[in-house]
Structure 1
Amino acid sequence: MSWDAAARTGQVTGARERLPFLSEDQLDERHFAAMEQLRVLYGYPEGMPLAPFFATLAHSPDFFAGYIDLGVAVSMRSALPLRLRELAILRTGWLHGAPYLWGEHVHTSRGKVLSPEEIERITQGSQAPEWDALDRAVLRAAEELHEDAMIGDAAWEVLAQHLDARQLLELPILAGHYVMTAFVQNSLRTRLTENNPAGLAAR
């Protein structure tokens, strides 16, 4: 799917956020336990305020804790190599027109595991000619999950030549986590951060 980056970013983030943030005096022990995981994951200093997206998720303490648990597992304990994770996350974010998700992961991956040229190519998808076989299969997997709710045989065959059973299992779980993230962030009209001022225009 091809988005007009500026128009889609404006559609999602240009309107007022739909739910208010919760302040820390409204949080309970489930929130604080999840926040500590976030602090360790991202290297936040102690006492740093909860980011707006997470402060909105906190309206549901149990879902907030579960979401953070899965996010930490995806980010810190996944057997998938970081490059492949970011390819799948960014392609999923682009396909769902998710400016917050896309921009945040452009910021964290650009110049580290992906070049600016590769990030631009992710917007074109698996059909861009420059990908190697594994990168193309990961991108195609994200596309097929989006289009048909399953990874097709051809992409799976390539993936299975390079990934073990645990990694093959974790790939659709990873993509599914970020589909959920896109649904929530887009529906809540989550505002962009200072690290992510461009949304889907970020490269």
Structure 2
Amino acid sequence: MPRFTALTPEAMTPRQREVAEAIGAGARGGLRGPFPAWLHSPDMADALQRAGRFMRWGSSFPARLSELAILITAKRYRARYEWFAHHPLAIEGGLKPEIAEAVRLGQQPQDMAPDEAAVHRFCTELHADGDVSDAAFDTAKAMFGETGVVELLGICGYYTAVGLTLNVARVPLPDGTPDPFAA
């Protein structure tokens, strides 16, 4: 059961309506996921949706790698809706289903490309330790440059905020969708 009060257009403040329209008009195609909760603070929602637009569509990472980072984040926080939303995007972006499945199960994926292995190591260490080893940092920096390392941190940070919001708001999976993290 969702925890936040649903904001109908009639109940929204002018600023909430403005931000809701901006979110709904973009490639997201509507107010889903964390946005209904975030709209209770419209300025925060606006700032986060702009950051999210960059993380999802503007970073230097191809979908295969950014979505891998998002799946690792979803697994870390058991963010069911985040996994539901991004798993298909990862596969469409070129991530092998076997890699996604290993992430979902908390296993070390096999047969990753070098760039996938660098993202996996960096993001897994980051979420496990709140930091990364020199080896993980140096590998990511050599492969993606400093810009890429910063963007990878941004993807993990943004999608941590998304996943935690989805969990706390109790955003449900669509009817009939199995829990990806059920025991």
CA distance in 1, matches of 2:2, 2:174: 13
Instruction: Provide the identity percentage.
Output: 27
How far apart, in 2, do the equivalents of 1:60 and 1:191 lie? 21
TM-score, normalised relative to structure 1: 0.78
- Structure 2 CA distance for partners of 1:136 and 1:18, relative to 1, 3 Å: same
CA 126–171 in structure 1, closer or farther in 2 if over 3 Å, else same: farther
The residue aligned with 1:74 is 55
Identify the residue that residue 168 of structure 1 maps to in structure 2.
Answer: 149
Q: What is the CA distance between 1:175 and its match in structure 2?
A: 0.2
Unaligned runs of 5+ in 2: none
Partner of 1:143: 124
Please tell me whether the aligned partners of residues 99 and 200 of structure 1 are also in contact (alpha carbons under 8 angstroms). Answer: yes
Which residue in 2 is equivalent to 1:39?
25
Cα deviations by residue, 1:141-161 (Å, 9 ceiling, x for unpaired): 111111221121111222122
Out of 11, 21, 30, the position equivalent to 2:6 is 21
Evaluate the alpha carbon distance shift between residue 52 and residue 136 of structure 1 in structure 2; reply closer, same or farther with a 3 A threshold: closer
Unaligned runs of 5+ in 1: 1-15
* Higher relative contact order structure (alpha carbons within 8 Å, sequence separation ≥ 6): 1
Offset at residue 95 of structure 1 (A): 1.3
Give the conservation status (yes or no) of the 8 Å contact 1:31–1:65.
Answer: no
TM-score under structure 2 length normalisation: 0.86
Aligned length: 181
Aligned-pair RMSD on alpha carbons?
2.4
